[in-house]
Amino acid sequence: MANQVILRFENVVFEYLHKKPILNEANFNLHTNSKIALMGQNGAGKSTLFSLIKGEKKAKEGKISISNGITIATARQVIDRNDFQKTVEEYFAASFEIQPPNFKSEISKAMKAVNLAVPTDSVAGKLSGGQQARLLLSNALIQKPDILLLDEPTNNLDKDGIDHLIEFLIMYEKTVIVISHDADFLNCFTEGVLYLDIFTKKIETYVGDYYSVVAEIESRIERERKKNAQLEKLIKDRKQKVNFFAHKGGKMRKLARKMSDQTAELEDNKIEVRKEDKTIKNFTIPAQDIFGDIVAIKQLKVIQNHEPIVKIVEKILNKKTRLLISGPNGIGKSTLLRTLVNGKSEGARIMDGVRTGYYSQDFATLDYEQTVFESLECISADGIDTQQLRAVAAGFLITGDLLGHKVSYLSEGQKGLLSFARLVLMRPGLLVLDEPTNHINFRHIPIIAKAIDEYKGAIILISHMPEFVQKIQFDDYLDLGKL
């Protein structure tokens, strides 16, 4: 099957709403053993494309062809909330109608492949973000697919986890399509790009490593802009002449009609230049005015050999404190933040009267049954009216048509932007941010980093993205791996 086409999209049209296509006459081929990056801004339809490939959604028009016997599995972005109470073994078992022979041995192999070391009776929802990311990947691998679909696989992974994943994917001898906003990760192993253009609804195919393809796209855009600029100048000149000759008599008027037809033809020859992905607007997170201490951390628990160990620390945060928490996946970073925020920590507390803006990596603060508007309205500080709320939402690309949808309708990237809009409207005295770059388009990240750095209240942050952390000034650090 070397270098054979195993998946083909031919003039595929798909839409959720009538006459509002996500894909319009999309075409591409996928070959055996290829490693492909899937690009496109939030909402372009990347996850929808995965659903079409898996047969979970059906095309309105066109044809999707998959070679006989080809199997497909997806490592999704997040564990479904309905699966949080399953054990690791139960989570694996749910992928099979009939368990394969030596099932426990197969589980062990799949977990080892992604460096996941947790007991199989562990509850999926209680694993750390990094452990959940590994579980999602190993659950796809245990199905031994011919086509492996990875949706933001580096979310929540620390450096060691990402390095291990890169090594695995380079050695993996089957076809892989990856959605990721991590450019360095993609460049390490991909050999081509499928680009979903959110404006034309087409899929464009490029060959080469990730950075080469990005450079090629940017070069093409520049050529198209220059050509259009030349045409615009020529069209403007022709229109001026048409207007001049049209007011003359006889042959001049006939010439004007001829030049008008030529001008219309030039208009048709203008190239549909790809628009840049939209980015969120610069924003400010207003801070609650607080005096005195905001957070006190006297002790915390770290996970060692799957057991919680109490560690004594001494951290007092006031209005100007910015604390960066680090440590390997599974050591207890997210648990520390979650228990701090919900008041269940035995050795850490937030002082009374402090409004806490909590960005949870699994969006646990969002009610998926609320509409987007309700989600924003319920969190807004006093004095914020509907017009201000809509303006804030629009700045995060949450436009009018999205406000009436349930939160569950949003993509993971859109849920992330909704979470930031809520922080702006809340006006918190403390920001608690757990992996706030997960699922976020890389174009938005510098704007988010700038807003956090300019925030005037206290900050507690966990992030595995060094280039993001470097844009924010910290004055205190807590490495759980060194306690």
pLDDT at 404 over 80: yes
Name which of 193, 483, 445 is nearest 313 in CA terms.
483
Lowest model confidence (mean pLDDT) among 27-31, 246-250, 437-441: 246-250
Side-chain half-sphere exposure of 272, counting CA atoms within 13 A: 6
Higher-confidence position of 48 and 221: 48
Which tens digits make up the pLDDT trace of 301-319? 998 888 889 999 999 999 9
What is the residue type of 25?
E
Fold of 293-482: Rossmann fold (3.40.50)
Which tens digits make up the pLDDT trace of 112-134? 888 888 999 999 988 888 888 88
- Residue 1: its pLDDT value, please? 45
Tell me if 5-214 shares its fold with 293-482: yes
Rounded to whole angstroms, the Cα distance separating 193 from 186 reads 10
**Edge-first strand listing for the sheet containing 72-75:** 72-75, 147-151, 175-179, 35-39, 192-196, 203-207
Q: CATH assignment of 5-214, given 3.40.50.1820, 3.30.2290.10, 1.20.1260.10, 3.40.50.300?
A: 3.40.50.300
Rounded to whole angstroms, the Cα distance separating 25 from 11 reads 4
- Residue 403: its pLDDT value, please? 94
Rounded to whole angstroms, the Cα distance separating 314 from 88 reads 35
pLDDT at 276 over 60: no
pLDDT at 265 over 50: yes
pLDDT band at 330 (very low <50, low <70, confident <90, very high): confident
Higher-confidence position of 464 and 147: 147
Which tens digits make up the pLDDT trace of 351-386? 999 999 999 988 989 999 999 999 999 999 888 999
Q: Across residues 443-465, what is the average pLDDT?
A: 94
The full set of domain ranges for the chain reads: 5-214, 293-482
